[in-house]
Amino acid sequence: MTAVKPSTYPAPRRRARPASAGEPADLEARSDAEVVAAVLAGVDGPERVLSWARAALARFDGIDGVLHATAAELATLPGSETQGHHGRLQAARELMLRALRERLARGPALSSPQAVGHFLQAQIARRPHEVFAALFLDAQHRLLAFEELFRGTLTQTAVYPREVVKRALAHNAAGVILAHNHPSGTTEPSHADELLTRTLAEALGIVDVRVVDHVIVARGACLSFAERGLL
C-alpha cells in the first residue's frame, strides 16, 4: 500500500455554531461540544448550553468523563439546570451501554473483542476503587448478563471463587469473561491477577463453565489475558 503524504495546507476552520436536535444527519460532522449541546438541547439557551458543554469537556477530560460525572460534580460548573444536564447525559450513557449490550447479546463476544472492551470501559474504567465483574455467556458466547461481583479498595479486591461459581450457575452460563479495573491506570497484570485467574478457571471448570478471558481495564486501555497468552 502506498503511503499518501498529508497536505501541508491547514484545513479550513469551521465556524462553531450551537448544535440543533433537529439536524441529526449533521451531528457526525460536529465537534464534541456541539454533540453534547445537542443532547442537552432545550435545557437552556443554545449558546449557554454550548458554552457549558465546552467547560464540562475541559473539566472532566472529554466525553467519557462528562458521561461519568455525578450531578454534584456537574454542579461545580457555572451554568443553570445542572440537574437537567445530568439526567440527559445519564440517559445518553445508558443508551450507549444498552447498544453495546445488545451487540454482545446478538453475536459471539469473541468475534467482537472491541465491543467487549468498549462495554467494560464504559462500565468500570473510571471507578475510583477496584471492581471485579463478569460477563456471563451462553454456549455460543453471547452475553447473558453482566454483573459487578466484588468491590475493593484503590489497589485490591477480595474475590471469592465460590460466589463466582454460584452466579455462573444462576445464569446457566457456559462461559464467562472476567474483568476488573486498575484505578492506577496501568493494565499490566500482577502475579496475584494471574493466580486468581487460574484459581477461578479451575473452580468454574468443575461445573463445566469456561473462562473465556480475563480483561484488565484502565482509562483508555484494556488488556486481554487471552490475547496475552495467559489463559
Domain ranges of the chain: 24-97, 108-228
178-207: buried (b, 16+ CB within 10 Å) or exposed (e) per residue?
bbbbbbeeebebeeebeebbeebbebbeee
Stated pTM of the model: 0.67
Q: How confident is the model at residue 89 (pLDDT cuts 50, 70, 90)?
A: confident
Residue-level pLDDT at 10: 42
Which residue did the predictor score with more confidence, 54 or 112? 54
Q: Which residues are registered as beta bridge partners of 213?
A: 177
Pick the more confident residue, 7 or 134: 134
Instruction: Please name the amino acid found at residue 34.
Output: E
Least confident of 76-90, 111-125, 159-173: 76-90
Q: What is the pLDDT of residue 16?
A: 46
Q: Alpha helices of the chain — where are they, by DSSP H?
A: 32-39, 46-59, 63-68, 71-74, 82-106, 113-124, 161-170, 191-206, 225-228
Give tens-digit pLDDT for 27-52.
667 787 887 777 777 666 677 888 88
Mean pLDDT across the stretch 114-141? Answer: 89
**Among positive and negative, which fits the CA dihedral 38, 43, 48, 51?**
negative
The answer, yes or no, to whether residue 176 has pLDDT greater than 80, is yes
Close Cβ partners of 181 (under 8 Å, ≥ 6 residues apart): 124, 125, 127, 130, 131, 216, 217, 218
**Confidence band (pLDDT; 50, 70, 90) for 170?**
very high
Rounded percentage of the chain residues whose pLDDT exceeds 90: 34
Higher pLDDT among residues 24 and 76, named by residue: 76
Average pLDDT over residues 4-23: 43
Q: Mean pLDDT in the chain?
A: 80
CATH of the domain spanning 108-228? 3.40.140.10
- Would you place residue 179 in the very low, low, confident or very high pLDDT band (cuts 50, 70, 90)? very high
131/153 Cα distance (integer angstroms): 8
CB 204 within 8 A of CB 210: yes
How far CA 43 is from CA of 23, 59, 79, 119, in Å, comes to 17, 20, 11, 28
State whether residue 116 is helix, strand or coil.
helix
Alpha carbons 72 and 83: distance in angstroms, whole number: 9
